[in-house]
Structure 1
Amino acid sequence: MHKIFITLALAATAAIAAPAMAADNCATTIEANDMMQFNVKHVDVPKACKNFAITLKHVGKMPKAAMGHNVVVSNTADVTAVATDGAKAGPAADYVKANDARVLAHTKVIGSGESATVQLDVSKLKADGKYSYFCSFPGHFSVMQGTLALK
C-alpha cells in the first residue's frame, strides 16, 4: 500500500512540474493578467507536431486599450527589435509589424475575459534554436516573456 501512495505522489509531482502542454501535446494555453504576467514561463513543442496551437487567455479585469496582451513568438535574439517595431506598428496592427519575417506566430491583442489562438508552424523551429514568446503591447515585453523549445 505504501508503494502505491509513493507511486501516485511521484506521478502527481511529475504532472505539476511538466511544461505547459495539452493532452494532445500539440497545444498549450497561456494566461495573462493585469500584473503583466504570463502564468507559463516555458513551453515545449513536440517535434512530432505539424502545427502547435497557442491559446492566450486574458484573466485580468482591464480592457484591451489599457492592459491588452498578445503572444508573439520569435527567435530570442529578435525579441527587443520585434517588440520595438511592433510598438511603432500600433494597436491597429496588434503591435506586430506587418510581414515581419522575424515573427514566427502571433495572436491578436486581447483584453479582459477574451482569448485568442494562433497556430505555430513547427517546421519553422530548429532543435537547437532559442525561441521566446512575449507580449508586444508597449512596455510589456521586458517582463512578459517565456521560452519555447522544440523537443
Structure 2
Amino acid sequence: MRILLKLFFCNVFVVGLFAPARSHAEQLQEFGDYIVYYNALSADMLPDSVAKQYGFMHSARTGLLNIAVQKKGSTPQPQAVSAQITGTATPLLGQSLPIRFREIKEDDGTVYYLGEFPVSARDTYRMVLSITPAGREQPYELKFSKEYVGE
C-alpha cells in the first residue's frame, strides 16, 4: 500500500505540470547543502482512500502541502533527512492560519511532511515555512504562494 501511496504522490506532482489552475508542479529550493521539495494542492485532488488513510478531509476547503528535505553529501544522490517544519498560510485579505504538519517515514528511508490548513474561498494563499533540518540549529525560511479555489 505504501508503494501505491508514493506512486500517487508522484503522480500528483506530474499532474500538476499539466493542470496549473488546480495545482503547481513540484518545486524545490536549495539552501546550502539542503534541498527542500514542496508541492501545494487541494485535498479534493486526493482519492478518498488516500485522504481517509492520512486523516484529511477530501474537500476543496482543505489546502495541503507536501514537503521533503534532502541533504547533499558524498553520495551521488541527496539523502532524506528529518526536519522540524512550522508554517502559516495567509489569504491575501485574511488572517494567518497555522499549518499542521505530520511527519511520514517510509520503510525505505523516505521522509516527508504533510501539512494542512483550511481554505475558505477562492484566494491566493501566501505560505511562510520555517524548516530546520536535523542537526542544524538555524531554520531556513521558504516562502511561496498558491491559488486555491475553495467552494
Q: Which has the higher contact order (CA 8 A, sep 6+)?
A: 1
Q: TM-score, normalised by structure 1?
A: 0.38
Structure showing greater radius of gyration is 1
More strand, by proportion: 2
More helix by share: 1
